[in-house]
Each structure stands twice: as structure tokens, then as C-alpha cells.
Amino acid sequence: MSHKHKELIALGIAITSRCEGCIVFHTRALVRLGATREEILETIGVAIEMGGGPASVYGAEALDCYDQMMAAKESR
């Protein structure tokens, strides 16, 4: 299993665990590893299926975090 796939799994766990610091940590790693927005969205979708309503809140935070990090990366 690739490092990126392991980080996607870790992000899903972070979302269902409601760990904001973990979400930032794993999202940062995923940006460095070249994860696409679609991969992040798919991971969030699975996390919401498993974690229910609370995961949707943290999933939205994860997507916002990814979008902000990608914008910062592109502006360099």
C-alpha cells in the first residue's frame, strides 16, 4: 500500500475520531504526496458513511483545510 493511501486512511480515521489536529496533520501530508481533491472527497464520503452526522462536520473541516493548503501551495 502506498504512503498516500495510508494517509488517506489516516485522514478518514481522523475525521471519524473528530481530531482536528490529526485532520490538519494528515491533510498536510496528503498535499505533499499529491492527493487530489477527488481523493479527499472520496475519503470524506467514506468517513461520513461510517461516522454519521458528526463526521460530516469534521469532513467539511478537512475539505476546507485541503483547499486552503492547496491555495497556499499554488500561490508560492
In degrees rounded to 5, what are phi and psi of residue 34?
A: 85, 25
Residue 32 region by backbone torsions, left for phi larger than 0, else alpha for psi between -120 and 50, else beta: alpha
Please state, in angstroms and rounded to a whole number, the distance separating the CA atoms of residues 25 and 20: 9
pLDDT at 53: 94
pLDDT at 16: 98
pLDDT at 63: 99
The domains of the chain, with CATH numbers, are 3-74 (1.20.1290.10)
Please tell me the number of Cα atoms within 13 Å of 11 on its side-chain side: 30
Please state, in angstroms and rounded to a whole number, the distance separating the CA atoms of residues 34 and 48: 23
Per-residue pLDDT tens over the stretch 20-71 = 999 999 999 999 999 999 999 999 999 999 999 999 999 999 999 999 999 9
